[in-house]
Structure 1
Amino acid sequence: MLKKLVLSLTAAAGVMGAALSGAAADTKIPFALDWKFEGPSAAYFAAVDNGHFKAAGLDVEISAGKGSLDAIPKVATGKFPLGFADINSLIKFLDQNPGAPVTAVMMVYDKPPFAVVGRASQGVSSPKDLEGKVLGAPPPDGAWAQFPAFAAANGLDMSKIKVEPVGFPTREPMLAEGNVDAITGFSFSSFLNLVRLGVAEDDIKVLLMADHGLSLYGNAIIVNTDFAKANAGTVTNFLSAVAKGWNDVIADPEAGAKMVAKRNPASDVALETRRLKLSIDQNVVTDYTKANGMGGIDMARMKKALMQLGENYKFQNTPDIGAIYTDAYLPKDGSLMLK
């Protein structure tokens, strides 16, 4: 697969070169999201609409995605110089494709949205309550992939938990109808889906894995390393603009949701405002980012995260943190600090 990546990178070099041509014109940057245009993507649109990219001399085109496994190869091949993806998926990708030219350069979700979501009325309010219950889990689900480490961290006896494979579209409806007692999923999406299905909010119990023993990080800005080496200043300017966009939507989530609605007219502004707020409160603004700003990682925590990831995934090679993440391109203009 790496050979294909190298070939694709060579083919894409002309595209990236063209994107960077023209001294007077703003530098064109295609940016690949991991998912469709929803509340949590508002920060990138704020960086566009509020002029942060423009002030940095950048002309950024944001593209929706179909998951991290869609975004990572786009960046690794050079089709997109920058993207947004789950760092755990990136770690596995680099293990399977050693030397692939892609790395994380700015942590955005200090806490990943991986969660187990239960209902108090069905006896699930804490991790231990899962024993003796039915857990609905889509096999490809990112949260389900982390469940073995979550179970180990909370001393759960997996033999006492009945796991029911479910589809993504039927996951929340099955919990709402009482056909399963809990589900795995992304915290903000599963919560809002259940509310829309009529489940009382105080009956919904979101067990964020990051609050129950997991040290894993979440989504990060990723970059094609060949592009970054040749355009270090551009990458730093991009990250500074993104951080300013995040501060904008943290200050005014509704304005951010309206920016999403401009690109996705079918979206509900109130719903996306709430989805964005949940993402901010659960994933972006944490004790660590309040003290240190966005973007960085704690090395000791990352080492523990890799050990926990190894409980769910068999590494072919020893993970190299230096290939997974670098802070070399983080801005030093104060933009990373949360206001």
Structure 2
Amino acid sequence: MPSPLRVILNTFLSGPQAWFFVAEDRGYFADHGIEVVFTPGDTLANAVPKVASGAYDIGYGDMNALIELHGARPDAANPVAVFIMHNASPYTIAVAADGPIRTPKDLAGQHLLTHPNDAALRMFPEFIRATGLDASGIAIIEDRRHHRDLTAAILRGEAAGLFGFVNTLASAAIEAGIAPADLRHFEWRQHVPALCGAAIIASPDLVAERPDTVRGFVSAVNRAVKDVIADPDAAVEAVRRRDPTIDVAANKARLMGTLALEMAHPEGARLGLGDIDPLRLDEAIDLITAVKDLPARPESGRIFDRSFLPPDGERIRTLAKAS
């Protein structure tokens, strides 16, 4: 058997990674002759350079960070996205729902908390451009505490807002004994709709040398997502078997929220989960290239390779919501 695939996840083990563990437990990877070693990550954005470095074969990484990498290294052999899991952007700034900040422009002059290199923070310039926010007086403070502590800090008034993912912060609120409705969200999917979120990305060496392995990995995960939709309790149990310390209720809420938000873009009904409208991808590339002043505007075909997607009849369309 070939050497095991080294896979870097987006974060610590959590409910919205369940499809990877379901695929492993039910032998879907083994059906394709694949053995996998998963490593927890530290942010969605950081998974991209870790695959680019050669340390990992596959990453669960940020599609927008991948675009940025390609634009910054136009002549390099870069990773490629092979399945877009989050076809809607999960990024948000959360504030107290009963506080004075009612619109994005009310964030002007405020203090905002963030984990280092958070994917939402990295895409803050795109949010600023889309909303017309005057960011000149905003103070951004890095804070490595768990999100459950940071959500509580926001409600105590330690800062005005918190960068993150909508469902990550909702789950963290539950863990902190806070009602998710106590947070108001300014969501990128509403203000910067061209962007998406997490994707399965593969190293250039893996794509070149073991394309059938890439295709098999994607097929196994796609099959497991169907199982997760059918039985989310069993899916969270697959995560709990790997980390018995997780808050099961919070992780189920996070998983269900991810299925209902990040994975429910309307175009999924037409294209199926894993794909993106080419015009929308080009719009995202144009925006990121301009806002981040990248050395080159990367070509979409080098960033996302559709040839590894499941056949049309096997794609998931049930999650898509009407626009």
Instruction: Give the TM-score taking structure 2 as reference length.
Output: 0.87
Task: Kindly provide the CA deviation profile for residues 86-142 of structure 1, in whole angstroms up to 9, marking residues without a partner as x.
Answer: 111222223333322421111111123210111221123432443465433456322
- 1:74–1:136 distance in 2 versus 1, CA, 3 Å: closer
- Other-structure match for 2:321: none
Structure 1 unaligned regions, length at least 5 = 1-17, 21-27
Distance 1:138 1:259 in 2: 27
- Other-structure match for 1:276: 255
Q: How far did residue 154 of structure 1 move?
A: 2.0
Distance 1:149 1:83 in 2: 24
The residue identity in structure 2 corresponding to 1:19 is: P
- Other-structure match for 1:141: 118
- Other-structure match for 2:265: 286
Q: Give the conservation status (yes or no) of the 8 Å contact 2:60–2:199.
A: yes
- Other-structure match for 1:127: 104
The partner residue of 1:211 within 190, 195, 217 is 190
Q: Give the conservation status (yes or no) of the 8 Å contact 2:127–2:188.
A: yes
- 1:217–1:247 distance in 2 versus 1, CA, 3 Å: same
- 1:202–1:230 distance in 2 versus 1, CA, 3 Å: closer
3-state SS of 1:220 partner: strand
Q: How far did residue 258 of structure 1 move?
A: 0.7
1:51 aligns with 2:30: no
The partner residue of 1:245 within 219, 224, 229 is 224
- 1:234–1:333 distance in 2 versus 1, CA, 3 Å: farther
Q: Give the conservation status (yes or no) of the 8 Å contact 1:153–1:214.
A: no
The partner residue of 2:129 within 152, 159, 171 is 152
Deviates more, 1:278-287 or 1:327-336: 327-336
Distance 2:5 2:33 in 1: 10
- Other-structure match for 1:220: 199
Task: Kindly provide the CA deviation profile for residues 174-195 of structure 1, in whole angstroms up to 9, marking residues without a partner as x.
Answer: 2021122222212112222234
3-state SS of 1:157 partner: coil
The residue identity in structure 1 corresponding to 2:248 is: V
Distance 2:49 2:102 in 1: 38
Higher CA-based Rg: 1
3-state SS of 1:276 partner: helix
1:167 aligns with 2:143: yes
The residue identity in structure 1 corresponding to 2:2 is: A
Distance 2:45 2:130 in 1: 26
Deviates more, 1:240-249 or 1:183-192: 183-192
Q: How far did residue 40 of structure 1 move?
A: 1.0
1:39 aligns with 2:22: no
The residue identity in structure 2 corresponding to 1:155 is: G
Structure 2 unaligned regions, length at least 5 = 319-323
The partner residue of 1:266 within 236, 240, 245 is 245
Q: How far did residue 73 of structure 1 move?
A: 4.0
Q: How far did residue 45 of structure 1 move?
A: 0.6
Distance 2:181 2:246 in 1: 25
3-state SS of 2:59 partner: strand
1:19 aligns with 2:2: yes
Percent identical pairs in the alignment equals: 29
- 1:290–1:242 distance in 2 versus 1, CA, 3 Å: same
- 1:51–1:333 distance in 2 versus 1, CA, 3 Å: farther
The residue identity in structure 2 corresponding to 1:32 is: I
Q: Give the conservation status (yes or no) of the 8 Å contact 1:146–1:312.
A: no
More helix by share: 1
Distance 1:199 1:232 in 2: 46
The partner residue of 2:233 within 246, 254, 279 is 254
- 1:213–1:89 distance in 2 versus 1, CA, 3 Å: closer
1:81 aligns with 2:57: yes
Q: How far did residue 246 of structure 1 move?
A: 1.2
- Other-structure match for 1:10: none
